[in-house]
Structure 1
Amino acid sequence: MRRNAVAVVVAAVLPLVAALAPVNVLGQSARGVLSPLGVGALADRLPDRPSRADARPRQRPGGLPETIYGGSWPTSHVQGVAVDRRRGVIYWSFTEALVRTNLTGRVLGTVTGITGHLGDLDLDPRDGRVYGSLEYRSAGAFYVAIFDGTRIDRVGIDAENGGVLTTVHLRDVTEDVAARPARTEGETGASRRHRHGASGVDGISFGPPLGDPDGGEVLMVAYGVYPDTRRRDNDHQVLLAYDVRGWERWARPLNQRRLHRSGPLAADDKVFVRTGNTAYGVQNLEYDRHTGNWLMAVYPGEKRGWPNYSLYVVDGAVPPRRGAVRGQPAGETGQLATLAPGGLSDRRTGVRGWMSPGSRGLESLGDGSFYVVDGGRIVVDGQRRQDATATLYRWTGGTPMPFERVSTDRPMSAPAPYPL
């Protein structure tokens, strides 16, 4: 679909989205929709607003709250969540801290003192441990962080000495970030660092191997990708697959003064998804057991000639195929994943996707419903903080917005709009 045609569709659908989504979620999705289309952009953030910590959550049938408030914290913005339905808790990544609450938003514990970037989260369904992406980009060290959630039972547990966190080093990411790739076809000037445009790690999720929906669980970790419009080798999302059974032999406590390099020599699989360049890669990666697909929520890129969607979906039933990785030096091949049908379709590139929120947090509940997370800067007692709210949606696959808000008894009207 041409850019001006997409803009027309967006202009027509935004009033409908406003009736389905809270304003702060709409603001996020609208930014993602309008900015790459060149038809104007909303403000980068909502203005300061009162804390919603005392808001009473409404329950939907089945006992899941329609909204869960994650609190307000003197950190960077929310990066992702993981829900443990069996234990009735939710974990929130706030970049420098992990927060554990119950499903009413009551804080049960926190892990603090993280000086790197804690990104997306997911729960290992086999043992209930929480896995997150963790990077120290300036030191060239990239990890999977593993939290023993059952021991996060008080506020202020130290990330290094609290006995709840271990880390496993990801050698593939470190090598690609540090690599100085060969010059690609048609490229001029000096070779650049960062193979595939790799900037680190962010999205993370458990699920079956691509093409094997009944296979055993693997941990999929997505690259961050630099938003460079001049390069030709950064138009793929990169996913690494790991079988984490036996990772105890590599796991080490976090020591941020002496970052270790203990981890597997290589991922079990490396998969490329051609989407066009994005702003820092897959922010939230989520396997959805209801559809059998992998969802990749991103900050849209700005390259001309690409549709620059904010959500891409990988067809989990289709095995990756070996083929040329476009934009790489001649002859380079890799495992290529297939985008799922549905959504908007860009005729020129063949890329499919949606205009959707989810880059701040996306959690599949396995029955077609999701928690979609939004957050922003607020002021509490004169202190600037970041807060987060998880709101219940169901997947419809509609275009361009594939989620519909779940309502307990009657449609919720959107709150009065904040000035943007």
Structure 2
Amino acid sequence: MESRRQGHFLIRAVMFDLRLAAAIVCGLLVTAPAVAMEQSTRPPLSQNGGTWDSGHVQGIAVDVKGGYIYYSFTTMLAKYDFSGKLIGTLEGWTGHLGDLDFNPADGKLYGSLEYGKEQAFYIAVIDVSRLDRVGVEASKTEIFRTVYLPEVTKDFAADMDGDGKVDHRYGCSGIDGVGFGPAFGRVDGERYLTVAYGVYGDNSRDDNDHQVLLQYDVSGWSKFARPLNEAEPHHSGPKTLHGKHFVRTGNTTWGVQNLSYDDSLQRWFMGVYQGKKPSFPNYLLFAVDAQAQPKKGDLVGVRSADGKGWEQAQLLALADDGLKDAATGVRGWNQKGDVGFQPVGRGLFYLSVNSGGKGAQTSDLTLMRWTGDANRPFVPATLEDLR
């Protein structure tokens, strides 16, 4: 440092380190703030979602422009910034908070929230811009609202044979996967909230081999949103929906766990817990091309009301990609995508891996790049992928 004091630039060591001094000498000081801002808003290559005792991670959501990542840990929501700093947590419900998605149109976070015993199925709508501290109680804040989904309850509670017992139409166990994207058959236009059914993993049934996807226009949902009161569950929600579609994948354990739409590939992805029916390939990840047009056809396995044939429904074909089962024609990948699967653009995705036992649940995110390879659809991303 003594030699620097004797040079052309006198810099006091107590004020500047060598790196800053070098920046001044090179005339780079004016660009340093811009570089720092770019790095702070760059999605990280990896992140840990903390260790919690509220249940395993169910899903994630990313606000790419704002620089935040959200984690659903069943009965708790955690908010981190891209640097890995914990910004806040939301807690205080006993229901099952599942998959998440961030809606850039209104800046709110949407997540599936279910109470099976009460036959109450909701979309949680959370004003995450106001979630700025740890330990926020959902029942004591205005940022947490819920919207009831009567269509789900109708199928969940259906008595299809008139014997007075609940049969769960389509094997409906509730809801889980949620994601915003265009209407099926399009890649442009209005974005709809798409909600996937949970489906019971029951090998004795033939009417539970489809994934069920509901699409909703949420632009007017403020009139339905209510605070959550677990003692008296409300039934305020839309009576109509934009569409109800079915995808034949074979039965999976609890249906679509993570649902997301990727603009860069123009397709919907469905991450599932593996099914157990030996007649199906039981892949872990499925996809539907956004431009594939829904077609009315036979909902194989689901008897029509008159019992003379199959029920008719709007069907979506699986993307013509990935592994293919010769016996069923079902396509997909053996890729884990059940506890966090989120596109962030340019063929990049965050994939979550859960670990830990009771009282010590965590999520490790890795930024992955899509390859299109049937056996290895994703590889870890690099900084070069973010440039």
Q: TM-score range by the shorter chain?
A: 0.7 to 0.9
For 1:87 and 1:140, the matched residues in 2 are separated by: 35
* 1:224-243 equivalent positions in 2, closer than 5 A: 224-243=198-217
Q: Which residue pairs with 2:247 in the alignment? A: 273
Alignment-derived partner of residue 395 in structure 1? 370
Confirm or deny that 1:90 pairs with 2:69.
Answer: yes
Partner of residue 256 from structure 1, selected from 230, 244, 247 = 230
> What pairs with 1:126-205 in structure 2 (closer than 5 Å)?
126-182=105-161, 193-205=167-179
Deviations 1:264-296 (A, max 9, x none): 113221000000000000000010101110000
Report if aligned partners of 1:362, 1:373 keep a CA contact under 8 Å in 2.
yes
Deviation per CA, 1:184-236: give whole Å up to 9, x if none. Answer: xxxxx998610000000000000001111112100000000000000010000
* Helix, strand or coil at the partner of 1:63: coil
The alpha-carbon deviation at position 104 of structure 1 amounts to 2.1
Q: Which has the higher strand share?
A: 2
Contact 1:122 1:205 (8 Å CA) reproduced: yes
| Residues 239 and 285 (structure 1), Cα distance of their counterparts in 2 relative to 1, 3 Å cut | same
Helix, strand or coil: the match of 1:160? helix
CA drift at 1:182 = 4.2
Cα distance in 2 for residues equivalent to 1:191 and 1:386? 37
TM-score with structure 2 setting the length: 0.85
1: CA distance, partners of 2:107 / 2:132: 15
Structure 1-normalised TM-score? 0.79
**Aligned residue identity for 2:198:** G
Give 5+ residue unaligned stretches, structure 1: 1-58, 184-188, 410-420
Larger Cα-atom Rg: 2
> 1:7-406 to 2 correspondence within 5 Å?
63-182=42-161, 193-329=167-303, 330-377=309-356, 384-406=359-381
Q: Conserved in 2, the CA contact under 8 Å of 1:96 and 1:116?
A: yes
Aligned to 2:3: none
| 8 Å contact kept, 1:68–1:105 | yes
- CA distance in 2 between counterparts of 1:105 and 1:256 reads 33
Q: In structure 1, how many angstroms separate the alpha carbons of the residues matched to 2:209 and 2:157?
A: 18
Letter in 2 for 1:132: G
| 1:331 to 1:408, Cα distance in 2 relative to 1, 3 A | closer
Q: Closer, same or farther in 2 for the Cα pair 1:251/1:192, shift >3 Å?
A: closer
- Structure 2: segments with no counterpart, 5+ residues: 1-37, 304-308
Q: Counterparts of 2:185 and 2:112 in 1: how far apart (Å)?
A: 24
Q: Distance in 2 between matches of 1:60 and 1:350?
A: 45
The Cα offsets for residues 154-209 of structure 1, whole Å up to 9 and x where unpaired, read as: 111111111111000001110100002249xxxxx998610000000000000001
1: CA distance between counterparts of 2:302 and 2:280?
A: 18
Q: Helix, strand or coil for the counterpart of 1:174?
A: helix
> 174-183 or 262-271: which moved more?
174-183
1:257 shift after superposition: 0.9
2:103–2:180 contact (8 Å) kept in structure 1: yes
Q: Which amino acid aligns with 1:393?
A: M
Q: CA deviation at 1:60?
A: 9.2
**1:260 partner letter:** H
What SS does the corresponding residue of 2:61 show, helix, strand or coil?
strand
User: Are 1:60 and 1:408, in contact at CA under 8 Å, matched by a contact in 2?
Assistant: no
- C-alpha contact 1:129 1:149 (8 A) present in aligned 2: yes
Q: Structure 1 CA distance, aligned partners of 2:379 and 2:40? A: 16
Contact 1:60/1:66 (<8 A) preserved: no
Instruction: Check 1:106–1:62 CA distance in 2 against 1; reply closer, same or farther (3 A cut).
Output: closer
* RMSD over equivalenced CA pairs, Å: 2.0
Structure with greater contact order relative to length (CA < 8 Å, sep ≥ 6): 1
How far, CA to CA, are the matches of 1:61 and 1:281 in structure 2?
A: 37
Give the secondary structure class of the aligned counterpart of 2:359: strand
| C-alpha distance after superposition, 1:294-336 (max 9, x if no partner) | 0000001000110000000011101211111010112411100
Alignment length (residue pairs): 343
Q: Which amino acid aligns with 1:403?
A: F
